[in-house]
Amino acid sequence: MSDWLSWQFWVDTAPGALHFLLAVICLVLGAVVLFSRKGNSRHRVLGSIWLVLMITVNTSALSMYEISGRPNLFHFFAVLSLATIIPGYVSVRRYALTGRTEFLIAHRVWMSWGYFGLVAAGTWQIVTRLVHTIIGPGHFDTVLSLLIGLTVLASWAMNRYLNRSNYRRLESTGNSSLAGFPPSEHARKS
């Protein structure tokens, strides 16, 4: 039962150890970047480090097949993560070139989803390993359904928060371009 406290439980190979350590660093560093003051040099430097580490974590995930021996859901999420953090970087570069608020907001949305994906992947990895070890493989479908439900609920809540706060930010700048925001959010003043 205490097997889950050992290093070997969480890490199968040397690339797995690198992936695990970098993912933990990304969780901590991402939280610092996400919840601290934005736009200053500290944010830019830590954000750049986080971006490079996240690209490394995701590419290393794409090379690991120890869990199932073939591509699985974690590989899909690694690709999805890359598909959020790269546009996040491109958006902030476009903001730097144009000064248009939409690009800064797009950066915020993409990077928030990138961090959300990291937290979700970590949660899924922990839960699937623990369920298989502690409860046994017979309950995996139930736990998987619960994880999917919680992820969908958390995604909905985060999307709602980002849409409302970004809409207010655009309104406060006097920007009339609200492309990409649902019309129902335009009509509400909350």
% of the chain with per-residue pLDDT over 70: 72
Mean pLDDT of 27-34: 92
What are the DSSP calls for the chain, one per residue? Answer: -GGGGSHHHH--SHHHHHHHHHHHHHHHHHHHHHHS-SSSHHHHHHHHHHHHHHHHHHHHHTT--TTTSS--HHHHHHHHHHHHHHHHHHHHHHHHHH--HHHHHHHHHHHHHHHHHHHHHHHHHHHHHHIIIII-GGGHHHHHHHHHHHHHHHHHHHHHHHHHHHHHHHHHHT----TTS-HHHHH---
Mean pLDDT, rounded, of the chain: 78
For the question of whether the overall pTM of this predicted structure is more than 0.85, the answer is no
Mean pLDDT of 43-65: 91
Residue 44: which pLDDT band, with cuts at 50, 70 and 90? Answer: very high
Instruction: Kindly report, residue by residue over 151-184, the tens digit of the pLDDT.
Output: 787 777 777 777 766 656 655 655 544 444 443 3
Instruction: Kindly report, residue by residue over 94-134, the tens digit of the pLDDT.
Output: 999 998 888 988 998 899 889 988 888 888 777 777 776 76
